[in-house]
């Protein structure tokens, strides 16, 4: 496995930084008095690539691709363009670069920047592709013998979500209203959600369009990069609405993503295989090689004005289906995929209780409340709670991190229809 690549940006050589030269993730940032523009994380700094393009120091293509505060135009260059640009960035930022004096003025301290959505989400699809999560949830509601639906071991199950509600880390999330009906209620009521939850996921970003079915290998080639993703979920709204067509308003409140797109190239040394199949997959879903990644994941929960507690730790290797398999399956009907499409992995849980990626699982449907380091208990999220997802692939003397994916729960509106 490749070791740490040295940069003239000193902070990028710290083995604990999320953003060494090996990483170079893509985001959109602004500083005081300036508008959003495309940047690249390097150590504790952000390199303004839009300004580099304007000043003729670095070009990704002709016409320019960084005139808008979004990485979509760059994604449209395709894998060859992605590789060329990454190589040029490496050369600019590597230790001993002759262009250091020209580039250094375009570095900005990360702690003085505000992060924005790194790309415009074209469409959003969320999957249910973690076997431990699906087994836990199915066991709660249908018993262990019927935990997995009959189709689950044959296809990655998913639903079409709302691209309009995908938000960048740091965006507050307001507790939703919806129809609720408990088992002892004669009729539903319209009220604020009482069982608000998180879901620890990874998001895969499509960088190459398609207009027909693609193979798993072709799907992998289409993926531009990955983000951390929190699929905020209103469990009580979901319980009433999901029959017969699945999640709808329960998943439409918000989906938070980390601000940095970690490229597939940066993750290449961390390839990992999906688990052994219990049922042989049909040929169009079989993987030609390892297509998951060894990425350690963590969830923390901080009550209002209190220190965070680690509530879950797991790894992206726990997924039963890779993003490439999900994307390939998505295209089987001829469904067009577009640059900027976002695919949620589904909740990532491991076999042990401490590895469960949702409060629904951690509290076993509310029957076993979780005790935080502060002594407080949680079955589901309370107002003021801040959820933070963290993730990193760990190499020899370096890490490929994603930055934080965080959001704070705000109280529900007093009256959502007051005008």
pLDDT for 139: 96
- pTM for the whole structure: 0.97
CA torsion angle 13 16 17 21 (round to 10): 40
Q: Annotated catalytic, 329?
A: no
Q: Distance between CA 214 and CA 311 in Å, rounded?
A: 38
Q: Distance between CA 94 and CA 89 in Å, rounded?
A: 8
Q: Distance between CA 140 and CA 124 in Å, rounded?
A: 27
Contact at 8 Å (CB) between 390 and 400? no
pLDDT for 1: 55
Residue with tokens 């071991």: 153
Rg (C-alpha) for the chain, rounded Å, is 21
The parts of the chain modelled with pLDDT lower than 50 are: none
Q: Which domains does the chain have, with CATH numbers?
A: 10-116 (2.30.30.230), 124-410 (3.90.850.10)
Contact at 8 Å (CB) between 129 and 319? yes
pLDDT for 243: 87
First to last CA, the chain: 59
Catalytic residue among 108, 132, 133, 330: 133
Q: Is 206 exposed, middle or buried (0-12, 13-18, 19+ CB in 10 A)?
A: buried
3-state secondary structure string across 44-68: CEEEEHHHHHHCCCCCCCCCCCCCC
């Amino acid at each position: 496995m490749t070791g740490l690549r040295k940069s003239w940006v000193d902070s990028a050589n710290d083995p604990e930084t999320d953003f060494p030269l090996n990483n170079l993730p893509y985001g959109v940032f602004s500083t005081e008095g300036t508008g959003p523009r495309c940047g690249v994380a390097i150590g504790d700094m952000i390199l303004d690539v839009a300004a580099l393009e304007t000043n003729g120091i670095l070009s990704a293509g002709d016409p320019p691709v960084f005139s808008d505060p979004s990485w979509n135009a760059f994604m449209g260059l395709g894998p060859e363009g992605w590789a060329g640009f990454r190589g040029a960035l490496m050369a600019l930022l590597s230790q001993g670069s002759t262009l250091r004096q020209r580039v250094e003025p375009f570095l900005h301290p990360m702690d003085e920047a505000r992060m924005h959505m790194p790309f415009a989400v074209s469409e959003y699809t969320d999957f249910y592709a973690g076997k431990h999560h699906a087994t836990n949830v199915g066991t709660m509601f249908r018993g262990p013998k019927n935990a997995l639906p009959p189709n689950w071991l044959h296809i990655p199950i998913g639903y079409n979500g709302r691209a309009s509600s995908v938000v960048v880390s740091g965006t507050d999330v307001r507790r939703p209203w919806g129809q609720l009906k408990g088992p002892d209620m004669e009729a539903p009521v319209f009220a604020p959600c009482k069982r608000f939850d998180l879901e620890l996921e990874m998001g895969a970003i499509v960088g190459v369009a398609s207009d027909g079915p693609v193979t798993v290998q072709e799907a992998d080639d289409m993926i531009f990069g990955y983000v951390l993703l929190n699929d905020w979920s209103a469990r009580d709204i979901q319980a009433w609405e999901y029959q017969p067509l699945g999640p709808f308003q329960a998943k439409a409140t918000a989906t938070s993503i980390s601000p940095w797109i970690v490229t597939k190239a940066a993750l290449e040394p961390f390839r990992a295989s999906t688990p052994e199949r219990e049922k042989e997959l049909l040929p169009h879903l079989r993987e030609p090689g390892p297509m998951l990644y060894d990425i350690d994941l963590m969830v923390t929960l901080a009550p209002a004005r209190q220190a965070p507690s680690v509530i879950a730790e797991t790894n992206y290797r726990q997924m039963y289906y890779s993003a490439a398999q999900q994307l390939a399956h998505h295209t089987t009907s001829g469904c067009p995929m577009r640059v900027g499409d976002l695919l949620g992995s589904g909740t990532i849980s491991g076999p042990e209780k401490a590895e469960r990626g949702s409060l629904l699982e951690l509290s076993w449907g509310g029957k076993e409340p979780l005790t935080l380091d502060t002594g407080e208990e949680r079955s589901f999220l309370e107002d003021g709670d801040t959820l933070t997802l963290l993730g990193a692939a760990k190499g020899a003397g370096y890490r490929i991190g994603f930055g934080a994916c965080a959001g704070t729960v705000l109280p529900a509106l007093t009256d959502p229809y007051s005008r």
